[in-house]
Amino acid sequence: MFIDIPSELEADLIDRPLPPWALDGSFLAQSSMEEYRTELTATPGFEEITAALRHALTGEGDGYAVLRLGNLAKALSGVRFQRLVTGFAAEVAVPFSPFPRWPLWKDIGVKVDKDPGKSSGIGYNAFHMDLVNGTQPPDYTTLLCVRLDPLGGGTSILSDAHAAVARLSEDNRALLAESAYHYGTFFDLHGVGEEYKPFPILDGSNPGGGFVRFTAKMLERSELGQAHADAARELAEELVRGQVSWMLQPGDYLIVNQRRFLHGREALHSGQDTIPVADRRLLLQLFLRARAGDGSAA
């Protein structure tokens, strides 16, 4: 789950600056990925780390991983560090932003007047997959920790979606496979297909694999029939039952395979309104799309 960077590799990466990236639409340009790969693979030990990262995310791996980059975050400026992390990400899949109004990396700060259950809110952010209502959600969602909650809240939570589904009754699995669910709006998004509404939580074409299209928020914010709501509620309970949690540290880079795991966050500690905005918890989010013909995310 946690992948540490050897000190020798850290030293070499600090001395290897990367150029600014270019975008091709909403995706990191192929030229930038090739340039980053040429630079980084010339660094002894880099390919071994990225191989371990890919193994953790696909195949028999856990389906998620945390790169421990804290020392590099301290040594490099914000822009140089983001380029380096982007280079690591591009070894897994193609970085992109589905939001044209945001840069490649999207800030997730803390807004005390925001809906508490949103990513930038202060409350419990229940289990979900990102862009749940797109026909092609991101294959990976990633979060880079810049600052902790100075009051000690905001623990990250993950749960194995398919393991949770396997613990449900056959009747409830059948209900979750019906196109009866919907959530959220779909406006001005790139790279995630078309709006999917209604959608099944389970894709029956690939039992035990594929996306589990779930967000706990639809239990409160969507009109669902009783049977379908009860089935989704049981899944929510099983996700909580099987969750793992830890506190991301500054420089930690979490990558989640969305075909296998759902993610969320415990509430931030009370008193956020007493903390200056510049000192509040801050994460940066980046999405990844599996390369064409790469079945590793399936």
CATH of the domain at 145: 3.60.130.10
296 secondary structure, DSSP code: G
Name the domain count of the chain: 1
**Residue 160's beta-bridge partner residues?**
261
pLDDT at 221: 77
Flag whether 148 is in a domain: yes
Look up residue 188 and give its two tokens: 């001005």
Q: How many CB atoms lie within 10 A of CB 42?
A: 11
Flag whether 296 is in a domain: no
State what percent of residues in the chain have pLDDT above 70: 96
pLDDT-based confidence at residue 277 (cuts at 50, 70, 90) = very high
pLDDT-based confidence at residue 228 (cuts at 50, 70, 90) = very high
- Which amino acid is it at 29? A
Report d(CA 208, CA 196) in Å as an integer.
21
Flag whether 159 is in a domain: yes
What angle in degrees, to the nearest 10, is found between the helix axes of 46-57 and 30-41?
120
Does residue 298 carry a pLDDT above 50?
no
pLDDT at 59: 72
Summarize the confidence of residues 33-58 as an average pLDDT: 96
Mean pLDDT (the chain) is 94
pLDDT at 15: 94
pLDDT digits (tens, 9 = 90+) for 144-170: 999 999 999 999 999 999 999 999 999
Q: Supply the range of the domain harboring residue 101.
A: 2-291
Flag whether 138 is in a domain: yes
DSSP string for residues in 188-229:
S--SS-SB--SB-SB-TTSTT-S-B--BTTHHHHS---HHHH
pLDDT at 293: 63
Mean pLDDT is lowest, of 116-125, 255-264, 286-295, for 286-295
Flag whether 298 is in a domain: no
Flag whether 297 is in a domain: no
State what percent of residues in the chain have pLDDT above 90: 89
The candidate with the shortest Cα–Cα distance to 18, out of 101, 95, 76, is: 76
Report d(CA 143, CA 125) in Å as an integer.
14
pLDDT at 294: 67
Does residue 207 carry a pLDDT above 70?
no
Report d(CA 113, CA 121) in Å as an integer.
8
pLDDT at 125: 96
Look up residue 231 and give its two tokens: 């089935």
